[in-house]
Structure 1
Amino acid sequence: MAIGLATPASASSIVSLQLDAPNVTVTFQDTEPRDSSNTLILRPTGPGGTVRKVALAGEIPSVNRTLVKTLNAGITPGIGYCAVVEVGTRAEEGIAGKFGTRYQTSEVCAEPAGSANAPADVSIGGITGEANPPTGTNRNYWVSYSNAGAEAKGVVIQVQTSGSLSVRRAPESGTFNGFQCSATGSTGYRCTGGTLAKGAKNQIPVLATITKAGPGAIHATITAEGDTNPGNNANTHSVMAVPPGG
């Protein structure tokens, strides 16, 4: 719904919305160079709730910035909500912009945690291992992953190394939550077919070889059918490999 002006084609947008009454967590992509205010508006999808409005941010510095914010919006437990952000723009020269304008982003809906309709919410957590591995050695790193939403099916984990690290071999298939893993060249692996129950947590290894001195990194991503919260689906762990005996 537009207020003042039609929603621009390049308007700011809500990337994801999570409900944990009375709080909401919203990931917001700002593409409006003239914004002066951004207000989150939440409309209940079922009976028992009321429309809630809460300030998300004033002017967000720099265009194309992604803002992740948890707000006490006073939402009702057990009810789904749909959200828009009302973007207010500052006044400019000329009649059209004299008083500024307001428009609303496209709507994003979410179900509360624990709802039968709640989506999966898989995520990559910390990646642990030696920060300064010696060149010419093998080292094991661990990528943690979890699912905070409903049962997740069709889960895919991808790991890629760069710089001073390479992968010796992919994890053994079937060992970690039923994943079938295969190497993607000498620098990574891809695991498919995993199923994660609600609340499941685990780790998967990165069997790495330290090929040279200098910086390196492990990049991990996870996806699942119906996951509507992509903001927590990736992580990177950096290392600085040192010469043998260094």
Structure 2
Amino acid sequence: MAIGLASPASAASLVSVVLDAPYATVTFRDTDTRDQSHTLILTPQNAGGESRRIVVAGEVPSVNRTVVKMVNAGIRPGVAYCAVVETAVKGEDGILGSFGTTTTSNKVCSEGAGSANAPTDVSIGSIEGEASPQAGTNRNYWVSYANSGADAKGVTVDVQTSGSITMRRPPESGTFHGMQCAASGTGFHCTGGTIPKGAKGQIPLLATVKNAGPGAIHATISVAGDPNPGNNSQTLGVIAVPKA
């Protein structure tokens, strides 16, 4: 009776791939300490196109670390591709050590920017404002947001505070890409935004510095069908100083 060898487990988990020809942005999680290199393989979803192979990373230190890379993949505009990450895994030392091998991640398919079914890609950028505000004063902070994918409708933004920072009042409704904002928790929650492809904006947090000490501002953006959640949140830490 022949003894079959078990298929090796994948050494990478593909989280998302965003296409904007000729570039591709890939997000994957490394799951093996012996990885040597990670290659993105893009294959047109419909038959008749050429696959693309691009080395996106070498060895990733530690395990379960998420890697985000944008590469010039030479893909065609308006074309849907399916992606996998192929990982080269080195062998183990010793007589009983395993041989080196290559594993393939799960598959993720994505529409290219410009196609009728292209996905949105909303994101939170920097949160700007004073890092060491004075206790007992009012300060304004600005949360940057953007959409690098298809037009996004029904966008929500949630901004919360903690520690020495608290919200004074929510931003004016309807002003920031049509978002309707109301107080929620320790901050505000906005719904119903419409952000066209390539649009950027900033929404304010009108804050009060209630006491000296550490504080933080936490911002999250979301929309249905966003395939790249890794860029949807941001936190700014501050250290409030005593009032002079």
Same fold by TM-score, threshold 0.5 exceeded?
Answer: yes
Greater Cα offset, 10-19 or 123-132: 10-19
**Residues 79 and 111 in structure 1, CA contact (< 8 A), matched pair in contact too:** yes
**Residues 7 and 105 in structure 1, CA contact (< 8 A), matched pair in contact too:** no
**Residues 49 and 75 in structure 1, CA contact (< 8 A), matched pair in contact too:** no
Matched, 1:92 2:92: yes
Distance in structure 1 (CA, Å) of the matches to 2:88 and 2:27: 18
**Residues 77 and 113 in structure 2, CA contact (< 8 A), matched pair in contact too:** no
Deviation at 1:48, TM superposition (A): 6.0
Aligned to 2:153: 153
Aligned to 1:232: 231
Distance in structure 2 (CA, Å) of the matches to 1:211 and 1:159: 17
Matches within 5 A, 1:1-246: 6=7, 8=9, 12-46=12-46, 49-92=49-92, 98-185=98-185, 187-245=186-244
Distance in structure 1 (CA, Å) of the matches to 2:35 and 2:168: 50
**Residues 49 and 76 in structure 1, CA contact (< 8 A), matched pair in contact too:** no
Structure 1: 5+ residue runs without aligned partners? none
Distance in structure 2 (CA, Å) of the matches to 1:96 and 1:41: 32
Deviation at 1:7, TM superposition (A): 6.0
**Residues 11 and 89 in structure 2, CA contact (< 8 A), matched pair in contact too:** no
Give the secondary-structure state (helix, strand or coil) at the position aligned to 1:32: coil
Please give the TM-score of this superposition, normalised by the length of structure 1: 0.88
**Residues 5 and 101 in structure 1, CA contact (< 8 A), matched pair in contact too:** no
Deviation at 1:92, TM superposition (A): 2.7
Percent identical: 63
**Residues 142 and 203 in structure 2, CA contact (< 8 A), matched pair in contact too:** yes
**Residues 81 and 109 in structure 1, CA contact (< 8 A), matched pair in contact too:** yes
Paired AA for residue 91 in structure 2: A
**Residues 168 and 209 in structure 1, CA contact (< 8 A), matched pair in contact too:** yes
Please give the TM-score of this superposition, normalised by the length of structure 2: 0.89
Paired AA for residue 213 in structure 2: G
Paired AA for residue 238 in structure 2: V
**Residues 11 and 35 in structure 2, CA contact (< 8 A), matched pair in contact too:** no
Distance in structure 1 (CA, Å) of the matches to 2:230 and 2:109: 16
Distance in structure 2 (CA, Å) of the matches to 1:195 and 1:71: 28
